[in-house]
Amino acid sequence: MIRAGFLYPGYAAEDDYPRLAAMVDPPVEAVVVHTSVGVDAHRVDDLLDLGGPERLAAGAAQLRDAGVAVAVWACTSGSFVFGAEGARRQVRGVETAAGVPASSTSFAFVHALAHLGIDRVAIAATYPKDVALAFEAFLAEHGVTVTSVGAEDVLTAAEVGTFGRDRVLQFVAAGDHPEAAAVLVPDTALHTAAWVDDLEAALGKTVLTANQVTMWEALRLAGRRPRAAALGRLFGPQVSDG
């Protein structure tokens, strides 16, 4: 069984990872290491600190000791705020410290969209607007067109972690756009593992959530093509790499 390592900032929706690990086929063991947090705030300066090299290197060293096969920085905002090149440097630092192939949630979204052949999306974000727009800019650097940006303006990961199914369905549906082929939900502090199929059924299109794509990215790095009956089109059998 693959041991997949996840660097998770603080505490909010980290319980999605063992849930996801139990849902995929072939099975995977999720090893979650909590990285340190300065200020829990969706503000650019605090996010740059959250994703700083010292915080990630300390966590990645723990993943190395745990014997993981791959390592993913399970944080979207704490990666895309660095821009494409900065996020690549961030991943290289994790890879060096963990000693295994590495990635981040921001790149997981990019790779998942390529896998599905999708390049027009809507964003349904929990973040304040300026942070959501930084995600749009990151996607644009990778050739993805964003048709609309929804922003719930929630400041802390702790609050996002309390969202239940109904609130998640409501704000994700509100963030949809008729010209988007998929809706992206970019916050690993948000519980979504149990509701991906519900979201896709409600919207009638692909929905990619942060924790969902992070697990998929870990398995992609490990050379696996996982399937799951309740994790949406990304984990379905009908697509191949594009």
User: SS3 sequence, the chain?
Assistant: CEEEEEEEECCCCCCHHHHHHHHCECCEEEEEEEECCCCCCCCHHHHHHHCCHHHHHHHHHHHHHHCCCEEEECCCHHHHCCHHHHHHHHHHHHHHHHCCCEEEHHHHHHHHHHHHCCCEEEEEECCCHHHHHHHHHHHHCCCCEEEEEEECCCCCHHHHCCCCHHHHHHHHHHCCCCCCCEEEECCCCCCCCCCHHHHHHHHCCEEEEHHHHHHHHHHHHCCCCCECCCCCHHHCCCCCCC
**pTM of the entire structure?**
0.96
240 assigned to some structural domain: no
Supply the mean pLDDT for the chain: 95
pLDDT band for position 145 (cuts 50, 70, 90): very high
pLDDT at 239: 44
One domain for residues 85 and 59: yes
The answer to whether residue 238 scores a pLDDT higher than 70 is: no
One domain for residues 94 and 127: no
One domain for residues 7 and 104: yes
241 assigned to some structural domain: no
7: CATH:
3.40.50.12500
Percent of the chain at pLDDT exceeding 90: 93
One domain for residues 53 and 135: no
102 assigned to some structural domain: yes
pLDDT band for position 237 (cuts 50, 70, 90): confident
160 assigned to some structural domain: yes
One domain for residues 103 and 121: no
Q: What total of structural domains would you count in the chain? A: 2
Which residues form the domain of 127? 116-209
* Average pLDDT over every residue of 16-44: 95
156 assigned to some structural domain: yes
242 assigned to some structural domain: no
pLDDT in tens, 52-64: 999 999 999 999 9
The answer to whether residue 10 scores a pLDDT higher than 70 is: yes
* Average pLDDT over every residue of 121-131: 98
